[in-house]
Amino acid sequence: MLRAMLSRILGREGEREAARYLRRQGLRILVRGYLTPHGEVDLIARDGNTLVFVEVKARRQGNPAEAVTPEKQRRLTLAALRFLKEHDLLEQRCRFDVVAIVWPEGRQSPTIEHIRDAFEAVGRGQMFR
């Protein structure tokens, strides 16, 4: 129970740090924590004329990006599709990014890796139906 709580806290802090980082890179954060029956998109941002669906993974050690499994990619694709349909944006250029954050014990600032175009939409063409 304590471990799960600490993990949620680290996740929330990671999302805040990722949003700050992306804003410094020139992206505009549009939505945080977009929830669907398929799962959650941590951040939705605009990078010029591209809509960016961002998965944030924060860990104390290791490679957080490895946690963005094919199943997670599939769920993110479905959630993104729902957002695009809800907002009549099916023709909008979009991409999936991953922000991997390593926040070792005792360090004030994390190491941040922004992986642009981390993966393509996963599934049977659902981004184009």
CATH of the domain at 24: 3.40.1350.10
pLDDT tens per residue, range 91-121: 999 999 999 999 887 767 899 999 999 999 8
DSSP string of 45-64, one letter each residue: EEETTEEEEEEEEEESSS-G
**Domain encompassing residue 90:** 2-128
In which band, very low, low, confident or very high, does the pLDDT at 128 lie, cut at 50, 70 and 90?
very low
pLDDT tens per residue, range 62-87: 899 999 999 999 999 999 999 999 99
β strands within the chain, DSSP E: 28-36, 39-47, 50-59, 94-102, 111-119
Global pTM value: 0.90
Count of the separate structural domains present in the chain: 1
